[in-house]
Amino acid sequence: MIETIDLHKDYRIGKVLFPALRGIDMKIEDGEFTAIAGPSGSGKTTLLNIIGCLDVPTRGKILIDGTNINELSSRRKAELRKTQIGFVFQTFNLIPVLTAYENVELPLVLLNLEPDKKKERIVAILEEVGLGEFIGRRPNEMSGGQQQRVAIARALVKEPTMVLADEPTANLDSTTAKEILALMQELNEKHGTTFIFSTHDQLVMDYSRRTINLRDGRIVEDKRKPKGPR
């Protein structure tokens, strides 16, 4: 479970102090499929980065399963990212010199898995995201949708407790975006992995079961619905 208590984050741009988050209090249960929505500048990426141990809050607490992650050393944070958290980025961020298979393999380099088990996992997850035939391709030989599928496979291959996706569909056309969302929803249900997105895309909000609306660094709305469209 992720819990934030009075989370603040200020950015200093030149001499101006810019408050990105102004007191976020929320709880996200394990296995949720949650969108953090809002216009650009509302603080959603900042919130995701803080949850993902990539950034630190100026004030307030963030607890993951009861642990205040602010108090962790950067090494422990890296450890947490290595085992618990998968990232999906707007720009996919695949390593261009590596094939789909190798990109997915990358997070596992850090974990001590047996080679056979590793290979099994990579092939399985690539098949799950529908890229069974593309494992030998490099990013520049794949479409945007395929690249994002590789990125999702890469986020999930280490079997994390949560996947954080920052604007995962922003660089995709709407058809592809729907496919990607459907895929993530399916994976969420199947693996029970917590998915948290940031988005300003209505489509993503339609798919999510819970939408937390941010504006100017504050939660303005937190609505839940039983299940998104399939």
Partner 1 sequence: MKLLNIAWRNVFRHTRRTIITAAAISVGLSSMIFMNTMMNGADKMASRNIIDFETSHLEVFAKDYYREEGVFPLDTIIENPRYIADGIKDIPGIKGITPRVKFQASISNGIDELPVLGMGIDIENDRRIFETGNSVVAGRYLQNSGDVLIGTDLANDMSLEVGSYITIITKDRNGTYNAFDLEVAGLLNTGHPLFDRNMAVIPIAQAQELLAIEEGVTEMCIRAIDEETLGPLKEKVSEEIGAQYEVFTWKEMNAAIFEISGFKRAGQFMIGLVVVIIAAVGIINTMLMAVMERIPEIGTLKAMGFTNSRIVRMFIYEGGIIGAFGSALGCLIGLLISIYLVHVGLDFSGLFENVDIVYPMKFIIKGEIDYVNMLYVFLFGILVSVIVTLWPVRKATKLEPVDALRHV
Residues that bind partner 1 (CB under 8 A): 49, 52, 54-55, 75, 78-83, 87, 89, 91, 93, 95-98, 105-107, 109-110, 154
Considering only CA atoms, which of 101, 99, 102 is closest in space to residue 132?
101
Give whichever of 161 and 211 is closer to partner 1, judged by the CB atom: 161
C-alpha span between 228 and 199 (Å, rounded): 16
**From the CB of 122, what's the least distance to partner 1, in Å?**
13
Amino acid at site 145: G
Min CB(81)–partner 1 separation in Å: 4
Residues 6+ apart with CB under 8 A from 94: 103, 139, 147, 150, 151, 154
21 and 56 Cβ atoms separated by less than 8 Å: no
- Of 40 and 202, nearer to partner 1 (C-beta) is 40
71/229 with CB nearer partner 1: 71
What is the closest distance, in whole angstroms, from the C-beta atom of residue 214 to partner 1 in the complex?
A: 18
Q: What residues are paired with 22 via a beta bridge? A: 8
Name the residue nearer to partner 1 (CB basis): 27 or 76: 76
Nearer to partner 1, 90 or 211 (CB): 90
- Minimum distance between the CB of residue 92 and partner 1, rounded to whole angstroms? 9
Quote the CA–CA distance of 75 and 212 in Å, as a whole number.
Answer: 30
In the complex, the smallest distance separating the C-beta of residue 107 from partner 1, rounded to whole angstroms, is 5
